[in-house]
Each structure stands twice: as C-alpha cells, then as structure tokens.
Amino acid sequence: MTELMWDGKYKDGKKVGPVRIALPFQAVETVNETAQERQLTLDSLFSGRPTEWRNRLIWGDKKYVLPSLLPEFAGKVNLIYIDPPFATGADFSFTASIPEGNESFTKAPSMVETKAYRDTWGRGLDGYLQWFYETSVVLRELLSEDGSIYVHCDYHVGHYIKAVLDEIFGADNFKNEIVWKRSLPHNDPKKYGAIHDIILFFTKGNIYQFNQQFTEQSEEYKMSHYTQKDLDGRIYRLQSLSASGNGPARVFGDRLISPPKGTHWRYSQERIDELLEKGLIVFTSTGQPNYKRYLDESKGSALQSIWTDINPLNPQAIERLNYPTQKPETLLERIISTSSNEGDLILDCFCGSGTTAAVAEKLGRRWITCDLGRFAIHTTRKRLLSIENVRPF
C-alpha cells in the first residue's frame, strides 16, 4: 500500500493515534423547548426510560469532542460533512462587518483557540496532516457501516488529504472528487485563476446510501435531443435500449432480436412487454428498438462530478451571515439529500456558521455539530432559532 509520510506520524514504530479520552458533556441549555417538553424529558430521566432525541450544538475542541461522542454514537452517524481549514497558516481570527453602518471588527483568537492553532499548524504541514489524520480516524469510527463522508478542501492541501483518507477509509471506498465552481473568473497574476474547491466523497463500505440527484437540462440540450413529437403534441426523444456488456436476445412482439454486438438489452423481458403494450418502444428504419422518452417526464440530467450550478454567497444573499468560509445552503442540500434519508444522523465537527445543521434541520435529519470558536456557536444558535418550528436542541 502506498502511504503518505510526515514527521510525527510514527513514534517508536507505531502510528500516533487520536486522543481517546471520553469527557462528560455539560448541557448549558436546551433551546426552543417548551415547559411540557422539559417535564417529559425529566420524567423520562427519573423513570429510566430513554429520553427524546435532542440535536446537539457543542462548544469545544473536536480533539476532545469526537472521542467523547464514541460511547454513544460509534457506528451510528449516517453522513459526515466537514469543511476543515485548508489554507496553510490559517488562524482563528477574522474580520466581520456590522450591519448597522459601514463599520467592521476583527475577532481575535481566544487563548483556547490559540492553543488549538498551535496544535494544528505549529509544525506546519506536518502538524496539519497529523491533526487531520487523528480527526479522520475517529470520524470513521463514528460513521455507520453504510455511511458516507464528504471532505471540503481546495488546492492547498487537497492532494494530501486524499492520500490520508485513502489510508483510513480505503482507496476502494473513494467514490468521487467533486469540483465546485465557487467564484466568478478573476485574474491571478502569472497563474490560472483559482475558482473552484474540491469535495472528496468516501464511503465506509460497499453498501451506502445514494439518492440520485438530477439537474435541469439546458434549452440547447432540449432543442437538440428532444426532436420528435407525438400526434397529441408531446415532445420526446429516442433512447437506445442497449448498454455495454453481452446479453441474450429478447422478444419484441413477434420478433426475437439480439442486441448489438458487445451489448445487452437494458430491461428484462417482462419490462419490454410492458413498454411495448404502452407504446413506448419505437423501431428505427433498421429494425432496432428504441425507448420513447418524453420531455415532460424527464427528471433532468443525472448529476455529474463538476458542479457549476451552485453559486457562492453574494453580499446581498438572504442567508448571508458575514461569516468567513460560509457555504451556500444549496450546496449542503445537495450533499445531504444525496447521501442520507429523513431521520438520519448528520455530523459536522467544523460548525462555522452552522450551514450543515441548518440544512439538516430543514430536511428533517438529526444533527450534531461542534466548534471551538464561541462566535461560531453564537452564530449557529441564532441561525437555528430563525428556522420556523426548529426542534429543540
């Protein structure tokens, strides 16, 4: 196996693993809980019955938060999305604008954040890779057997992160490198404009949740492909019924037709009979059967690995919180809708502005998110409370 090496990965011939201390969580408050709901929770606690699920917004260093989640959630998280820092030398300070007026303030890192910064970047890239490696090891343990993880990064460390994830999750479980066009074209002197991020999609095993997503077809595509019209005016195109890979002949009405050499018919005999009965199979002049696909029944084009249809947040966006690194909700909607179902558990240990938690809440998923920055926790708390009928957390 090819392995990425860095200073500090091994000590005394053994890999340096993550912290394994499970610290108790302290519930500071339960937000948006009615008095009746609070009493039911207390009754459950005193009676020994399981309490109703509460989503969790955790303030703390993921170095300690993630191991503390293991006793309860190991193998139970269905989807993980993380957007870790990936600009070498990044710190926890940032500048935010104040809506009233044109003023701004700089949020300086706290002592706790400063220590976390030293732990992550204190040894440069070596320190970052060790930090990411230890984090990913615990994330894999939290992931369910049919779970998925998406790691958002860019050209600074993306190639290193891919190698680390290959080692932890297995190269066979790497599914996609998604390219997201995150900004408009701009001029970078003496190099090509860097306008995209990458999102690495891994699964824990061969069986995983994947709900196919579709994008709307362009007018050009519709005009060039949907060129046929029924007597009733419905527009359609003809699609081949064959696919690569050898297969047997099928009966089409009163004819036994073999697929073209090196291909097989896409459908079973029963399905072919059904399509014939509905008039959805059309024969070409050469006698080859094709499927009649109507435009008004099309879901669109299957989503590919290059995403250019999700715009970055602009200064006027309603959801904009003036938080650095904030991602658009449509980006998380796509990921969460694809790789989870309603009621599934979503984890994001780089909370930031709370986009993952907000989208998971709106899509009916359970969620856990954490961040070391107090400003991130306050921003997320306020954002969640702006959601109509947000569940207690």
What are the two backbone dihedrals, phi and then psi, of residue 128, each rounded to the nearest 5 degrees? -65, -45
CB 138 within 8 A of CB 80: no
Residue 300 pLDDT: 85
| H helix runs in the chain, sequence order | 35-47, 62-73, 111-121, 125-142, 158-169, 219-225, 269-277, 329-339, 355-362, 374-385
How many CB atoms lie under 10 A from the CB of residue 150?
24
The residue type at 171: A
Residue 207 pLDDT: 96
Q: Which residue has the tokens 């699609």?
A: 239
Residue 355 pLDDT: 97
Question: How do beta strands 143-153 and 196-203 pair?
Answer: antiparallel
Angle 200-369-134 (CA atoms, 0-180°, nearest 5)? 55
The segments of the chain whose pLDDT lies below 50 read 42-45, 94-96, 98
Non-local CB neighbours of 360 within 8 Å, separated by 6+ positions: 332, 336, 346, 366, 367
For residue 347 the two structure tokens come to 């984890």
What are the two backbone dihedrals, phi and then psi, of residue 242, each rounded to the nearest 5 degrees? -105, 155
Nearest partner of 160 among 150, 149, 151, 172, judged by Cα: 151
Nearest partner of 348 among 334, 331, 369, 328, judged by Cα: 369
Residue 30 pLDDT: 86
Above pLDDT 70, what percent of the chain? Answer: 86
Length, in residues, of the chain: 393
pLDDT tens by residue, 261-296: 999 999 999 999 999 999 999 998 888 899 999 988
CB 170 within 8 A of CB 123: no
Residue 45 pLDDT: 47
